[in-house]
Homo-oligomer: A and B are copies of this chain.
Amino acid sequence: MRKITFGVATSLDNYIASTDDAIDWLMPSPEAAAVLADYWKRIDTILVGRKTYDVALRRGQGGAFQSPGTKTYVFSRTLTPGEQGNVTIVPSDAIEFVRALKERKGKEISLVSGGELASALFEAGLIDEIRMNIHPLLLGSGVPLFHPMTGQIALELLESKQFPNGCVLVRYGLKR
């Protein structure tokens, strides 16, 4: 069974972007880059929600989803289904699709979407790990990291690490 990690950069008040989708508050660091570089070696599949994908395209960052050897699945009922290079637009139910994906052979899977896709996958019990790079600021409003869910989910802290720039990286496993 392939592992799915939900990995995000977030403000302390759990927003992943400002109200206008801006992420100019993100603080890059060699430490975060090293963690990510190590992580990307272990994955071959990216799951992304339609809104996050749209924002990336609008910013001219669609190339991030075209790395050789990495398949990206975008879940959308409005985009035209099909393949665009390494990106596949999936019109079907995300939960059943991801469940099947986990059963297939392959490397780890990264969920980089914001809240809505993540909440659905959390509730379906399909996410194995959360990694948050908590940035030292309150955004006050914006795009929420977590959307309301119907039940509590117990976590196991795997790691917490403080970066010199004031970001705190936390990793949690989901208890079943």
Contact = CB atoms under 8 A, between A and B. Distances in A.
Interface of A: 12-14, 18, 25, 122, 130, 132, 134, 136-141, 145-146, 148-157, 160, 162, 166-168, 170, 172
This chain's copy number in the assembly:
2
A140 B148 contact: yes
A149 B18 CA distance: 12
Given A14-B13, A146-B13, A168-B170, A140 B157 contact: no
Contact of A153 (B132, B137, B152, B167): B137
B149 A140 contact: yes
Contact of A157 (B155, B157, B162): B162
A103 to B, nearest CB: 25
The 5 nearest A-B residue pairs measured at CB: A140-B149, A157-B166, A136-B155, A13-B146, A138-B153
A148 B152 contact: no
Contact of A156 (B18, B136, B150, B162): B136
B168 A157 contact: yes
B156 A166 contact: yes
A148 B145 CA distance: 14
A132 B13 CA distance: 11
B162 A139 contact: no
A172 B122 CA distance: 29
A155 B140 contact: no
